[in-house]
Chain A
Amino acid sequence: MHLTVTVNGTEYTRDVEPRLLLIHFLRDDLGLTGSHWGCDTSNCGACVVWLDETPLKSCTMLAVMADGRRIRTVEGLASGGTLDPVQRAFAQCHGLQCGFCTPGMMLSARWLLDRNPNPTETDVREAISGQICRCTGYENIVRSVLWAAQNGSHA
């Protein structure tokens, strides 16, 4: 069926099967491979993208459910070639190793900071508690998000 969706500001129209998962639509149909899938059961959060204003796990959503709506992926985090503070923070604080969970982590972090510009460590841990990182023990992810909060201007 017909699907029109705006991803990172670009409108796409595609014919898709209703059963197509949003993560596969983004990766295979649109070639936006920055979002990953890691678990199939909405436990790991590698597939987190934003639907309109909130993050969700795109392995557990059908692409057709996004019809007429906006999606934001890691490819849409930077604006006009300028990295989001969260992106700078992850590089600055060694908040990533293999890079597989990183896009989802950064999208959750951005959402947290939009709602809570001065989070505590506990706030950060709760915000990413639905996402698995196998590399960092979360230590430097937490530091990254706190760094982004401190150095948060997009300039």
Chain B
Amino acid sequence: MQVPAHVEYDKATSVEHALALLARYAPEARVLAGGHSLIPMMKLRLAQPEVLIDINGLTDLCHINLTGDQLRIGALTRHAQLLDSQLVGEHFAIFRDAERVIADPIVRNWGTVGGSLCQADPSEDLSAAFAAMKGTMVIRGLDGSREVSAREFHTGPYETVVAPAELLVEIRLPVRPGGGSGYLKVARRAGDWPVGAAGAAVWLSGDIIADAGIGLAAVGATHFVAAEAEEYLRGRPATEESLARAGEIAAESCRPVSDQRGPADYKRHLARELTTRVLRVAAARAREANQEGPA
């Protein structure tokens, strides 16, 4: 019988209220957003918080908007909103690609972007995608806000820099011209967690890679990032050879573990294969964008 243990419940009416509740009950409180990670853990009694703070009423955290050259995504944005957003699709194909293969349409209706990031599952697709895009997380506490790079957000499996009395409120993404991005995932079945997945962004200057972002999920990449491969690509032409080499470098930097999704060496191979493939996609999209000219 999988049902949660006793728990208290409070509904936050504002971010400030949520923070005050967290301050009062932390560390025994957990923030309840979509609940699609937390509630299953509670049903298995692997998580037994004393208090749940329901933030689903905080509609001011559900936004997706363009502010200057930043795309701002509220932490309570549902996966389906991210997938359906024209604004996101226009600037960040990687999220459209990734969201289409995250869980399923019904789960995406209710699961949240912030919840997925804060759960910090090492296989989380969005963590890799935001890392690839070099996003910034905005974290609120009672004392104010702080910003943390998506690449420093996760401190380990199921661990983030968000303190018990803090709340992730927003993710910001720089909108930079000349870029293209994409996401590829190998899964055992639709809706499953990835066996391996790679997201990439490439910014081209002519056919020279001005900058690149590579995010990897489920293959043991530190902070979900293939930093050495990105470094390798900077300043090189976006040729098949350099993309393939970047894939090799990305794979070398991974520390995958064997599990029922596959043996470690296969996952390392996937990291290479998918990195190279998704770099191709990203570079092609960047070329397309550059041909169309700046919007």
Residues of A within 8 A of B (CB): 1, 17-19, 21, 24, 40-43, 45, 48, 51, 54-57, 60-62, 64-65, 67, 108, 126-127, 129-131
Contact = CB atoms under 8 A, between A and B. Distances in A.
Interface in B1-27: 2-9, 11
Given A51-B110, A64-B9, A130-B107, 5 more contacts: A19-B3, A21-B39, A60-B110, A108-B105, A129-B104
B47 to A, nearest CB: 12
A115 to B, nearest CB: 10
Contacts of B244: none
A62 B39 contact: yes
A18 B4 CA distance: 10
A18 B106 contact: no
Contact of B9 (A18, A24, A55, A60): A18
A17 B5 CA distance: 10
Question: Chain B interface: which size bin?
Answer: 20 to 34
19 contacts: A21-B4, A21-B39, A24-B3, A40-B43, A45-B106, A54-B80, A54-B110, A55-B106, A55-B109, A57-B107, A60-B35, A62-B9, A65-B35, A67-B11, A126-B105, A129-B190, A130-B103, A130-B105, A130-B106
B186 to A, nearest CB: 17
Contact of A108 (B32, B36, B103, B106): B106
Contact of B6 (A17, A54, A57, A65): A17
Contacts of B190: 129
B40 A62 contact: no
A23 to B, nearest CB: 10
B52 interface: yes
B191 interface: yes
A19 B4 contact: yes
Contacts of B109: 54-56
